[in-house]
Amino acid sequence: MGYLFLLFSIVFELIGTSMLKASQGFTRVFPTIITVISLVCSFYFLSLTLKTIPLNTAYAIWSGLGGVATVVISVLIWKEKLNLWSVVGILLILIGVVVLNVLGPGHGNESAASSDTHQHMV
């Protein structure tokens, strides 16, 4: 269920970010209202995600996939341009998200990681 909430969070974040551009600096009422509602919903679903998915994993997915999808939306809808370095940066973000999900917390010695975290918190 955590990953479904994360997907909802990303979708609302994408809507909010797109409407943020459309709000023209909060000078247009309708896009501004949609921005605020969408971003509140995004953080709400992100908070639900954090009940079952570690913060570092959830945030990496949320920001990474949200960032990449925002670039795609900016090119397709807002007709913004990309250059080679933009594409390289997007690929590095995607690689980072994959590495964190494959090798990050929860993909190894769970007891060592949790006892190490506990020691840092005490």
- Residue 107 pLDDT level (bands cut at 50, 70, 90): low
CB atoms within 10 A of CB 84: 7
Total domains in the fold of the chain: 1
Write out the residue range of the structural domain in which residue 12 sits: 2-121
pLDDT: which is higher, 45 or 104: 45
This prediction's pTM:
0.78
Is the Cα torsion angle 26, 27, 29, 31 positive or negative in sign?
A: negative
Cα end-to-end span (Å), the chain:
31
Closest CA to 103 of 48, 47, 60, 51: 60
- Above 90 in pLDDT, residue 83? yes
The mean per-residue pLDDT over the stretch 48-66 comes to: 92
Report the mean per-residue pLDDT for the chain. Answer: 87
Distance CA(92)–CA(110), nearest Å, equals 27
